Amino acid sequence: MDKTLLYKYEYAQKMLGTELEVLIKEFERKHGYMPVEHVKFRIKSEESIQKKLASRGYEYTAENIEKHISDVVGFRIVVSFLSDVYDIVSMIGRSTNLLIKKRKDYIKEPKDTGYSSYHLIVLVPIYLEGYVEYVTAEIQVRTVAMDFWASLDHKIRYKFQEEIPEDVQKTMLEYSEDIQELDRKMYEMNKIMSKYEKE
């Protein structure tokens, strides 16, 4: 990857990481509760970028990376309960330092394999000499159960690469429904716990 472009993505990663850290701490201070289990981040590898561009019919150029790949910088926020996902998404939406470009709720509309998560494409300001530039980044917000399933989903997709056989896809979808049911049960348990905390 071009050094100037890599610098921009590294800068955006630091800016977004700092912003998310501040937002999460402020959420905990305000609500007296820490919903986040952990946060992970990465810059997409050159090989992954090349494959993604090729799959979309684009050449590997700096212009095409900036124009067609929105998840070179990626953050994953893993939370405890289903309601926490939407609390964190709302928290990010209220940030005055980030602009939300696109939302995709794979919780309400899971993928064909049952993958669930909430994806945000955000514009992150980076302050260069004399001007501000916005860099796109992706934030995924999901529960621990969703994160477990996403890890398996990724491994299965990687194994088959081309197309997942119908019987495997059907089984994945069935098991993902079990994961979703577990999330719903944990959400109900959290509501019961909250009732006792108020007392």
Number of domains in the chain: 1
The values of phi and psi at residue 148, to 5°, are -60, -45
140 pLDDT band, cuts 50/70/90, is very high
What's the whole-model pTM score? 0.88
Query: Tell me, what's the pLDDT at 198?
Result: 59
pLDDT digits 0-9 by tens, 58-68: 999 999 999 99
Range of the domain at 176: 3-198
47 pLDDT band, cuts 50/70/90, is very high
- Is 60 exceeded by the pLDDT of residue 199? no
Query: Tell me, what's the pLDDT at 102?
Result: 97
Measure the CA–CA gap between 110 and 12, rounded to whole angstroms: 29
CATH code for the domain in which residue 168 is found: 3.30.460.10
Dihedral of the CA atoms 121, 86, 117, 177 (nearest 10)?
A: -160
pLDDT digits 0-9 by tens, 142-190: 999 999 888 887 787 777 766 778 888 788 888 888 888 888 888 788 7
What average pLDDT does the segment 106-110 reach? 92
